[in-house]
Every structure is written in C-alpha cells, then in structure tokens.
Amino acid sequence: MRKIIHIDMDCFFAAVEMRENPALRAVPLAIGGSADRRGVISTCNYVARRFGVRSAMPTALARKLCPPLVLLPGRMALYKETSTRIQAIFRRYTELVEPLSLDEAYLDVTDSAHCGGSATLMAEQIRAAIQSELGLTASAGVAPNKFLAKLACERRKPDGLFVIAPQDVDDFVRLLPLGKIPGIGRKTAERLELQGLYLCEDARQLPEDELKGRFGKLGVMLADRIWGRDDSQVQATRVRKSIGVETTLNADVYDESACWAVLTRLIPELELRFGERCPRDQIMGQGIKLKFADFQQTTVYRSHGGYSAPLFHDLLHEGLVRAEGKPIRLLGLVVGLPKEGEVNQLSLDLNS
C-alpha cells in the first residue's frame, strides 16, 4: 500500500504578494494581465473570490464583478524562488517529489522513515514548516494513490489536511460525483448524466467491459477511478513533451491573413525556444491553437519528422475551417519534443 501526499499552496501568487505587503491581506487581490490588453486572472485571494473572481477569468469581467479589485502583474522570479524553497522542504521527507507547477506537487512517502512512517504526520510537519519558514499556507491530502490524494487535498482547502485511509477508500469514492474525477470536464460530465450516471456508485452498476465499450478511453479510466484505483507513479523527473508560445490579441481577428500575420511574429520566438533544446530534424510534430471569443478552443496537431515553419499555414487553414467564422482572441504554436534518448526515426528516413 502506497502513501501519497498531495500538496497545493493556497492562492500561491497572491499569497506571496500578501506576505510581502500585509496591507493587501484585507483587500480583494488578483494577479493577472490588464483589462485593456485582454488579460486574464492568474490567481486571486479569497477576499476576491467572495466577489466571484476566479482563475482564468478575463480581467475585464473580474473588474465588473469586483470594482475595488487590486490587480498586480506578478513577479515570476519571486514566485519561482519561493517555489524552490517549498520543494526543498518536501525533499526533507522524500526524494520522490513530482512538481505539477510552482505551487503543487505529489510526494511518495511510502518508504520514508520520518514520523515513524506516518504520512499524516509528515503532511502536518510539511505544512507547519511552510507556514513558519515562508509565511505561507498549504493544503494537503493523504491517500493510497495520486488520484485520491488530489481529491483529499481539495476537501480541506484552504489551509487544511484531509486523509483517506485505505479502509475508507470505498466509502469516499462511492458517492463521489463523476464530475469531480480529474480529467472529466463539464461537457463530459453532462454526457455521462444523459446516460443516468451521476455518481461513481451509478457507474459501478455497469460491467467494466460495458463502460469501456460505451466510452472508449474514458471508460478505461472510469473503470479504475470509480473503485478508487490509480497505479500511476510519482515521477521525480518530468520530461518536457512540448514547447509552445501563444498570444492573446488586443482585438479579435477573423480572416486567415490577419491570423497569419500574428503567427509570423510568434514563429521566431518558438524557434528560439525549441532551438535551445532540440535540433529541427528531431521535432516530432507541430500544432496550432486557436481560442475563440466565446473561450472555446481548438488545437490542430500533426505528427511528422522534422520542423517546417510553412506547415503552420496549413494547420491554420484547418483550424479556421473548424472555427466556422467565430472571432479569434488567442493564437498559439507548439512543437512536440522527442522523449529522452529517443531518435526521430521518421526524420532519418526522410533524409536518407
């Protein structure tokens, strides 16, 4: 039986700013881009959340919901330095740390001898150390696997700890809404509800083969999650799979020429970024991302050997066909990287 801790810092960027300037604690505070440049909220404190402000919300909407909102552009260097110190605290207890972002990580403490091997006590000590040494609060979940540890962490946010003991897994999962399972978004949850599936308990009534037959890859995942199963390991090193760039436009664009003008400015930046990590002939694929004015989005990706900037024009055309005339507010580019030690065999064949 594994012992997994999931740690999630509470409103991390905003919390760091409030630590640096305590006068900000009592006001609605958000970190994000300016409204006049069509920015979005990166994170906000709990005062702002009471007004309805949320992460990923357009800044203009956030200001309508909360006129007294204090907006800061953010200081990424400070956040990264603080994150490094947080991860150093994690590694006092285990080297099996999988950072998901600057403010979130999984820890596998199965074989840790600290606290007599108690994952619960380790989580308490980690939270206490973050509070005393960095002046920040963190929430934690403890469970037998990553899936459950993340759900446990969400149960006690902010500044809390929730434990799912092995003997409690079935009771916890049975009445869990399917929409709470990571990877199931709003539309997928609605699709499940149309078939009478609201809770894990409902999905358990179907044989696993039927789940897989009805829902494909989603059914394979559901067949495990509805019983609380997750065999994924905590990965101490995460291999980067792609590199991308994107920009939110000051005004919506509609036609292909306007979109291509934007992409021609992004391509050199993308090439500079991936050129520091990967030769052009080892690129595994290219993609383009379009986000529409209604915040729906589409990504067109093509796997192939080697890099070709003109290919983005073909991908753009395909993306605009999918757009069906919708105004576009964001454009992005991405390239796929080979796995560590992997050689792009297709590019070798093409060049032979």
- Cite the annotated binding site for Mg(2+) by residue number: 8, 103
What H or E segment, with its residue span, contains residue 7?
strand 4-9
DSSP 3-state assignment of 335? Answer: strand
Angle at CA of residue 349, ends 343 and 352, nearest 5°: 115
DSSP 3-state assignment of 275? Answer: helix
> Cα dist. 160→97, 120, 283 in Å?
20, 12, 43
Contact (CB, 8 A) for 270 and 335? yes
| Binding site members | 8, 103
> One of 104, 154, 193, 208 is an active-site residue; which one?
104
Which amino acid appears at position 20 of this protein? E
Contact (CB, 8 A) for 298 and 215? no
Find, among 24, 6, 267, 297, the residue nearest to 138 by Cα: 6
Is 246 one of the catalytic residues?
no
Contact (CB, 8 A) for 157 and 8? yes
How many residues comprise the chain?
Answer: 352
- Catalytic residues, by residue number, are 104
